[in-house]
Amino acid sequence: MSAEEAGNGRTGMGRRALVGAASIGAASALWAITRLIGHTVYAAHTQWIDLLGVLAVLGCVFLSTWHLNIRWLVCAVCLFGVLILQHLELNQQALHQRGRTEHVRVRQIQWSAGDGMGDSAHLYTVTVIDGPPLAPIEENGLLGWKWVVGGTYTVTVDPQGRAPLRRGDRPGPPVIQQSLQIPLVLGLAFALRRPTDLLLRRQLRPRRPARRAVPADQ
């Protein structure tokens, strides 16, 4: 192997390492922005910020269909998945910090129509004899959790109302929600690798010196 080939090989490896680092950095930046959006929506109850995030994801889908590039679609799917996991992580974190497990005994059940999302949606207002007051419970017919007057149930409640009611268990930290974001960030970095490579090639391309004009009398 000649010295020129060895130098070209080292240059190629260095450029690939630079592209990988840049793509991982861009994916981490997008993950941080998505995380900031989720925390802002959760803390300030500003749903319009969440809507802007969804519109940005839909913009990636539009670019993928316009340019027929599957990488934009992968970016959109990963960002949308990260946004959903952020909300689940914050809800679980609220249960872990402020939630508690209670044993309640049902005294009365009042049924009313749901929020209109479907015919199977039901809204139950449950009053208990002992234990904390429960917020209205929405059941879509798939959970199969039927309340019975006089029955005793174990539930996990959040006193501040920041997370929904769930079946009784010890609410742990959001480890699963955080771990599932790792493959999404790696997929986002893989999707951004090709655009980052093209951008770096364009910036590192040597510029040709401009030719000086030669006078006509020479």
How large is the average pLDDT for residues 112-133? 71
Instruction: Identify which of 109, 95, 104, 98 has the alpha carbon closest to the alpha carbon of residue 154.
Output: 104
pLDDT at 180: 92
| Partners of 153 in beta bridges | 104
- Give the residue with greater pLDDT, 135 vs 116: 135
| Cα gap 28→18, rounded to integer Å | 15
Q: Are 126 and 134 in contact (CB under 8 A)?
A: yes
> Using 50, 70 and 90 to split pLDDT, how confident is the model at 173?
very high
| Cα gap 72→190, rounded to integer Å | 11
Q: Are 201 and 190 in contact (CB under 8 A)?
A: no
| pLDDT above 70: percentage of residues in the chain | 69
> Using 50, 70 and 90 to split pLDDT, how confident is the model at 122?
confident
Q: Are 71 and 174 in contact (CB under 8 A)?
A: no
pLDDT in tens, 51-64: 777 777 777 667 66
CB atoms < 10 A from the CB of 87, how many? 14
From residue 26, give the alpha-carbon distance in Å to each of 31, 107, 185, 186, 201.
9, 55, 10, 11, 17
Q: At what angle do helices 47-67 and 70-98 cross, to 10 degrees?
A: 160
* Residue type for position 11: T
Nearest 10 degrees: Cα torsion 169, 88, 77, 63: 170
Q: Are 196 and 23 in contact (CB under 8 A)?
A: yes
Cα atoms in the 13 Å half-sphere on the side-chain side of 132: 16
Q: Strands 137-139 and 166-167, how do they pair?
A: unpaired
